[in-house]
Amino acid sequence: MAEYDVRQLIEGKELEVNLVSVLAYGKTFETDIGYMVCSEVAWAPDSKAFFVTYSDGGAVGNFHVVIYYLGKDGLSDIEPTAQVMSDYLSRPRTCFDDEEPNIAAIAWRGDSSHILLAAETLPHSNCEEMGTFRAYKVELPSGKIIRSYGQITAKKLFWKHLGDELRNADDECAQIPKPKSCEIPGLHPKKIK
């Protein structure tokens, strides 16, 4: 990948953006990665695709995953996370307001046909499960869930692939039932007798 600088005006201020291009088949293919906040990139072992995890809201999310496929005519992309999002949101959570989880790529599983994703309850005090996660082995390009892993199991199996945020996720608050220490008092108003 080759990086180059581009100057752009945003709200009247000059902003430096580092765009990322892919050189393949004797051609240069530009990506949007330079505009993606907090982006992380990893090539598949077979070099047919790469993933990008990025944020649309800064360091606390929401995070998304895009898979880019490399072909002779350029790059194509998919966001194979609909089933992961649906499964994660179908599980019990105690929140002030519903919000989508962060979705992040953890690692490729074999070649570019399978990936390990994490869905994380945003790490702020909207939900008692803040910062907890599940991991999912997903088939590509369909996005079909092959297997899901609770947080404690995911940490045991994939520890070396996890970043600090997932490694430090509170295991007690990932369990059901949760201990009282995970409760947000405002979500459990005291009953008046």
* Residue-level pLDDT at 14: 59
Residue 104's alpha-carbon distances to 15, 23, 28, in angstroms, are 26, 25, 27
pLDDT at 88: 94
Q: What is the pLDDT of residue 3?
A: 35
Q: Which residues of the chain have pLDDT under 50?
A: 1-9
Parallel/antiparallel/unpaired status of strands 37-43 and 49-55? antiparallel
Query: How much is the pLDDT for 135?
Result: 98
What does the pLDDT read at residue 61?
67
At residue 179, the pLDDT reads 78
The pLDDT of residue 6 is 38
Distance between first and last Cα of the chain: 66
**In the prediction, which pLDDT does 181 show?**
79
pTM for the model:
0.84
For the CA atoms of the chain, what is the radius of gyration? 19
Report the alpha-carbon distance of residue 103 to residue 163 in Å, rounded: 13
